[in-house]
Amino acid sequence: MSSSPGSHASSLTGAVRSAGQVFPRHGLPLLCAAGVGLTALASWMWWRRKREEILEIKEVGIVSQLLIYPIKSCRPVSVPEADCIKLGLIKGDLRDRHWLVITEDGHMVTGRQEPRIVLISVSVQGDSLCLDAPGMEEKLLVPMSLPKSNKVHDCRVFGVDIQGRDCGEEASRWFTSYFQSGKPYRLVHFEEQTMRPRKAKDSEVLFRDKDVVAYSDASPIMLLSETSLEDLNKRLEEPISMMNFRPCIVVSGCEAFAEDEWHDITVGTCRLKRVMACGRCILTTVNPDTGVLTRKEPLDTLRTFRKSDPTLSHIYKASPLFGQYYAVEQIGRLSVGDPVYQVIYKNPQ
Same domain, 111 and 133: yes
Q: Is the pLDDT of residue 22 over 50?
A: no
Specify if 85 maps to a domain: no
pLDDT of residue 50: 61
Check whether 333 has a pLDDT greater than 90.
Answer: yes
- Considering the domain boundaries, does residue 82 fall inside one? no
Same domain, 337 and 217: yes
Tell me whether residue 130 is in a domain. yes
**Average pLDDT, integer, range 40-51:** 55
pLDDT tier for residue 12 given thresholds of 50, 70 and 90: very low
Q: State the pLDDT confidence band at 33, using cuts at 50, 70 and 90.
A: very low
68 contacts 77 by C-beta, under 8 angstroms = yes
Given 182, 199, 216, the domain boundary residue is 199
Q: Assess whether 179 and 248 both reside in one domain.
A: no
Whether 74 is in a domain gets the answer no
Question: Based on the domain organization, do 166 and 182 belong to the same domain?
Answer: yes
- Arithmetic mean of pLDDT over the chain: 88
- pLDDT of 4 > 90? The answer is no
Please indicate, yes or no, if residue 11 is contained in any of the structural domains.
yes
| Mean pLDDT calculated for residue range 263-287 | 98
What's the total number of domains in the chain?
A: 3
Does residue 308 lie in a domain region?
yes
**Does residue 102 sit in the same domain as residue 138?**
yes
Beta-carbon contacts of 85 under 8 Å, excluding residues fewer than 6 positions away, are 220, 328, 331
Return the H-helix or E-strand segment holding 259: none
Domain that holds residue 125: 93-199
**CA separation (Å) from 177 to 26, 173, 180?**
65, 6, 5
- The whole-number pLDDT of residue 20 equals 33
Asked if residue 230 and residue 175 are part of one domain, the reply reads no
- Looking at the fold, whether 254 and 335 belong to one and the same domain comes out as yes
Q: Which range (30-34, 49-53, 62-66, 325-329) has the least confidence?
A: 30-34
Do residues 10 and 37 share a domain?
Answer: yes
pLDDT at 102 over 80: yes
Please tell me the predicted confidence (pLDDT) of residue 29.
41
160 located within any domain = yes
Residues 229 and 191 both lie in one domain: no
Residue 47 confidence (pLDDT): 56
* Shared domain check, 239 and 183: no
Instruction: Give just the sign of the alpha carbon dihedral 211, 215, 220, 224.
Output: positive
* pLDDT single digits (tens) 174-225: 999 999 999 999 999 999 999 999 999 998 889 999 999 999 999 999 999 9
Give me the pLDDT at residue 217, please: 95
- Bridge partners of residue 223, in order along the sequence: 249, 324
Domain harbouring 276, CATH code: 2.40.33
Same domain, 158 and 224: no
The highest-confidence range among 2-11, 29-38, 44-53, 150-159, by mean pLDDT, is 150-159
Domain co-membership, 133 together with 254: no
Characterize the bridge pairing of strands 221-225 and 249-252. Answer: parallel
Name the burial class of residue 46, with classes exposed (0-12), middle (13-18) and buried (19+) by CB atoms within 10 angstroms of its CB. Answer: middle
Predicted local confidence at residue 28, as pLDDT: 39
pLDDT of residue 203: 87
Task: Let me know if residue 81 belongs to a domain.
Answer: no
Residue after which a domain boundary falls, among 199, 230, 251:
199
In which band, very low, low, confident or very high, does the pLDDT at 10 lie, cut at 50, 70 and 90?
very low
* 53 pLDDT tier (thresholds 50, 70, 90): confident
Q: Do residues 166 and 192 make contact, with C-beta atoms less than 8 angstroms apart?
A: no
Q: What is the pTM of this model?
A: 0.85
pLDDT at 205: 87
